[in-house]
Amino acid sequence: MPFTAGGTITAAALDLMDRPPVAVLAQTSVQSIPNTSWGVITFDSEIIDTYSGHSTVSNTSRYTCQVAGTYRITGRVSFAVNSTGSRGARVHKNGAFLIGGANLLGAGTLNGVIEVSHILTLAVSDYVEIAGGHNSGGALSTFYANECGSMMYVERISS
């Protein structure tokens, strides 16, 4: 919220400065992603969600914007070990993938962890998701253990 000379500072403006919209979402159980497709990642745990933009009951893949502005969306998709093919992660807005919002890498002998980030403008009720994809030859599960797991990070960076 921009301030202008002679303007009034409101409680809502101060609240946004003190408690901006931020969410950190985690997947704590595995999810099967079909071969050669992009599956939106479901998040069953909230580490922080200052404006209740996420639900662990319905539409668990989504963060729904509660305060309009410019946001940084970062996602991490963690896949189980499989040395065939490639892995990818991408950002979706309102169900559609974003140009420039994807990252791909080849498979290896460790868990495939791919991160992607995008800065975008969100209106109230817009939603964002993180999707993971692969071409390993068969269905491949996400992975969750210790420090490895799929995550979504949402932070409002300006009005």
Burial per residue of 32-65, b for 16 or more beta-carbon CB atoms within 10 angstroms, e otherwise? ebeeeebbbbbbebbeebebebbeeeeebbbbbb
Q: Is the pTM of this model over 0.75?
A: yes
What's the pLDDT at 1?
55
Cα distance between residue 68 and residue 156, in whole Å: 9
Burial status of residue 135 (CB atoms within 10 A of its CB: 0-12, 13-18, 19 or more):
middle
Query: How far is the first Cα of the chain from the last one, in angstroms, to the nearest whole number?
Result: 5
What integer pLDDT is reported at residue 17 of this predicted model? 64
pLDDT in tens, the chain (159 residues): 566 677 777 766 666 666 789 999 999 999 999 999 999 999 999 999 999 999 999 999 999 999 999 999 999 999 998 888 889 999 999 999 988 777 777 766 566 788 999 999 999 999 999 999 999 999 999 999 877 899 999 999 998
